[in-house]
Structure 1
Amino acid sequence: MKKFVLVLACLFLIGLITGCGNVNQEPAAEVPYPEKIVIQAPPAPPTAPLLKMLENKPFGDKVAIELILYKSVEEATARIVNGEADFTVLPVNTASKLFSKDMDISLANVSTWGILYLLSSDNISSWQDLKGKEIHVGAQGASPDIITQYLLGKNEVSSNEVILKYAGSPEIAQMLIQGLASTAVLPEPLVTNVLSKNPNVKQVFDFEQEWQRVEDSSLPQAGMVVQNKFVEKYPEALDIIQKSYQQATEQTTADPSSVASLVQEKFDMPAKVFENSMARIDVRFVNAQDAKADVDNYLSKLLQFSPEMVGGKVPDDKFYLAK
């Protein structure tokens, strides 16, 4: 019994000494910012606000920000899978596909809303005028194709009543310029390039306006996803990126010329083409929660045409970054 009491006393003393030894220890300091943040985006006009954001230096000299300009969605996806990019600008439906494959990402914001147009050198003023026409569209089965078919159907034109021809968008642009095609769906800045080089080609439809007319909803084309491990580890840095990106987007849309020289240098795009294209592109920052209704509606329409485009289903609420 005495031995038992002695053992308890020793354990108590050890605990007391250990506890006392921890009294003066500093708690583990939280790391508010990473040493470097990696953002990837395509070299296109809607990426210009990111160039502006880097110029603004949202973290001063405390954090380095690396902007990677990717050449393909597949390249961007590989970096997300390998954890090599903290933030990525992607088509909204691609973000949905990755989420459906259990990628640990969230949609942080939507920034590109209107970028697609129908151009023609023919006398077309209504959707009905397209019946019997060849329409050249880039990337069969991708969002421009699906949106085109959806808008045709909503305007009582069956896809069987038009001839859809598929090719790469740059190739289609050259065909319009050379008069080898008369009607096509193209994104900016190819639209500006075509209109400046072939005066016979006119803008017929702004797809964002047409979408809003039949859906009473905006057309969310591309947004920024973030790795959830970044969200959990660096919430303050995330907040700074979101606010800085919003500010840079507003600055860029208000004065495209302020970033035109950077676009020309980084994207190999003439400054004037960029400035003119920005007059047509609807680039505006909307956080994911506020964009949710538009994104849900857009993805549900894509789902009807091609389930694989969105990953088989419309993502749940966990897809959207909390405010």
Structure 2
Amino acid sequence: MSFDPAQALRLAHDTLDIEAAAVLGLKRRLGDDFARAVALVLGITGRVVVMGMGKSGHVGRKIAATLASTGTPAFFVHPAEASHGDLGMIQPRDAVLAVSNSGEVDELTVLLPLVKRLGVPLLAMTGHPQSTLARHADVVLDSGVEKEACPLNLAPTASTTAQLALGDALAVALLDARGFRAEDFARSHPGGALGRRLLTRVSDIMRSGDAVPRVLPGADFSHLMREMTRKGLGASAIADADGRVLGIFTDGDLRRLVETGRDLRALTAREVMHAAPRTIAADALAAEAAEVMEKHRITVLLATGADGRLTGALNSNDLMRAKVI
């Protein structure tokens, strides 16, 4: 066996050209059947049951996952397992999406009469619109390609790429028709970065209660320092007896104050605080807090409730621990 780097690169280029052409070929053939497929799925009250064998089965799993994460309940059922009991997972209010390039896979075709007997709508994604699968289907999505990227024209390559792209197109069209929003996506991806950014509130990660450093405006400087040291936020709020924020004093303010050479022991919190500091609502998104910090180059934010009173505080480390930034 010999390896020719130039030949490998040529084949890679050819593969990408063939698969790109396969996807663009789908675009030219999309029409009323695609719109009917979207309407069919929107019209059911159950789930989309995706089936496929071999490489089409792998594609089917991905299509089912994409549908489920974008607002269309869906799951994958292996056709061979369906013949041995899993067909019971399909309910009359569901729809079946069968994926097969040839449309003649035995494990799928044997199920078609049973699916029809259940009265379940059948959507076929196949490269052969005259196949057995297509003839049984209520709607056919043509995923055909001129040739595979495989030099032998045997291994499913361009055909599976076309199936993936067509499945994505279906999911996106359904997403739009359902009015699916970024917040909806985040709710089905709570463990992901987007979920954290769109679901995490300031109140979820802020320090609250006794963990919030605060002093009255008349507090002496040594008391202010002890409060900052004890709470470890890198700052302290200065609030009145009703909890209304008057100012903030940070580690940065301390460094700048020391440089002035003043007698710090004689100062009060009111005299050293930065008045009218930036605050954020406790029910705001934590991502908004990150944006405020970045925009104004600060590392600490005080959080307030609907009544404007101090309810919490957070710093950039809190945001990083929550993986918001």
Same fold (TM over 0.5): no
TM range (shorter): under 0.3
Structure 1 length-normalised TM: 0.24
Higher RCO, 1 vs 2 (CA within 8 Å, ≥6 residues apart):
1
Tell me which structure has the larger Cα radius of gyration: 2
TM-score (norm 2): 0.24
